[in-house]
Amino acid sequence: MNHVSAEITAFCDEIARFLRKEVDPRSRLIEESDAIPEELMQLTRKMGLFGLTIPEAYGGSGLNLAGKCAVEEVMGTTNYGFATVIGNHTGISTAGIVALGSEAQKKKYLPRMATGEWVGTFALTEPQAGSSPSDMRTMAVKKSDRYVLNGEKIYITNAGIANVFTVMAVTDKSKGIKGISAFVIERDFKGFSIGKNELKMGMHGCTTAPLSFADCEVPAENLLGSEGMGYIQAMKTLTAGRVTVSARCCGMMDHLIKRCVEFMKVRTQGGKKIAEHQGLQWMLADMAVQRDAARQLTYRAIDVLMKGERGTMEASVCKLYATEALGKVVDCAVQIHGGMGYMREVGIETIYRDARIVRIYEGSSEIQRNIIGSLLLKED
Ligand SMILES: Cc1cc2nc3c(=O)[nH]c(=O)nc-3n(C[C@H](O)[C@H](O)[C@H](O)COP(=O)(O)OP(=O)(O)OC[C@H]3O[C@@H](n4cnc5c(N)ncnc54)[C@H](O)[C@@H]3O)c2cc1C
């Protein structure tokens, strides 16, 4: 991949070996128990996976976007719930503190987030504010040395296991999106509670839960950056997040194609291997073309963002294409496996359910189309 050093490639190989040895054999357990076993969490901490993107000065590996995406491609080849716990923590959930945090905030939170002792979350969505986060109602009112938060968040990834919550709330309603600020909230802050883990179609093992703030008292020093920077930072975080989601989709497509090739070479019907059927070969070819196109669009977005440009268009294009391509590729993978594709034991049906989320979160396909369309219309 562009911008990826030999050192990062070697690190990715090491991660792949870890996934094959420690995660894949526990995948069915994760799926059925809807939790990551504690011994796997411990092994993951030891592997340093929680600190991937945290700067080295705070105990992490300091990966840039290209490095993070290289790891996401590898993570796409294993259990999706596990990949999401790590991907979310090392992506949108630490990005705000890394980008906006004061030295004191970084020193307090990042070292423990790098080791995985503390898991992070990113909380933007509310019951009335999903695709349109600017409709946010959670309020943060300054009272001397603290802010008092009231409101609700929903569908928050990692909430069930997290200690550190980057929460967006309105500090000045009259300023619209420029009146939205970001706060770091700790699990045991007074007035803060975490609801029950949702039961989901897929992404098992990764908790998703609502958050509630009832006169929740947050020390003023837990404001990230200055008032009004929350929405702007959240959008920057989501732009990079969309590219990392695309990278993971590429890894998932890679994995599915390999699984199909293996299966087609051994499954025999009517006296010949199903690999000999041109119809299935063409299906496989279309899967590979979509994976390769998604990868090139992802690399283009990485290039643009790594140059320090905004990259809104490129991030939306790759997120839209890669997530929709994954939907088609996983559908073909089920078809190629026939009845086996529908059986729990084989694991393709798990990926079929897991893959559905990527067209919804971090901006749905419709929202990506809105962004792309409106940017095209703004061009001369
Ligand atoms: C498993 C899971 C994990 C999540 N994790 C997090 C998290 O960690 N943090 C967080 O903050 N959020 C998280 N989310 C929330 C996620 O980002 C939202 O669900 C998503 O943005 C869509 O919002 P919504 O569910 O309210 O749907 P809605 O916004 O109500 O959308 C419903 C439908 O209308 C369409 N639609 C809405 N507006 C428009 C428009 N302007 N033009 C065209 N179509 C439109 C949508 O595309 C969709 O098809 C998560 C969600 C899920 C399901």
Question: Using H for helix, E for strand and C for coil, what is the string for 318-331?
Answer: HHHHHHHHHHHHHH
Q: Which residues have a catalytic role annotated?
A: 362
Domains annotated for the chain, with CATH where assigned, are 6-115 (1.10.540.10), 120-229 (2.40.110.10), 232-378 (1.20.140.10)
Q: What is the pLDDT of residues 226-237, one digit of tens each?
A: 999 999 999 999
Tokens representing residue 326 in the block:
């994954």
Average of per-residue pLDDT across 330-347? 97
| d(CA 7, ligand 1 centre) in Å | 37
Average of per-residue pLDDT across 315-336? 98
- Per-residue pLDDT for 2 more than 60? no
* Tokens 């919804």, residue located: 360
- Per-residue pLDDT for 1 more than 70? no
For the question of whether the overall pTM of this predicted structure is more than 0.95, the answer is yes
Beta bridge partners of residue 153, listed in sequence order: 211
* Tokens 């992506």, residue located: 91
Q: Is 80 in the pocket of ligand 1 (CB under 6 A)?
A: no
Q: Is 370 in the pocket of ligand 1 (CB under 6 A)?
A: yes
C-alpha–C-alpha distance, residues 39 and 25, integer Å: 13
C-alpha–C-alpha distance, residues 229 and 143, integer Å: 19
Helix 230-266 to helix 278-306 angle (10° resolution) is 150
pLDDT at 380: 61
Select from 204, 361, 371 the residue to mutate for testing ligand 1; criterion: most ligand atoms less than 8 Å from CB. Answer: 361
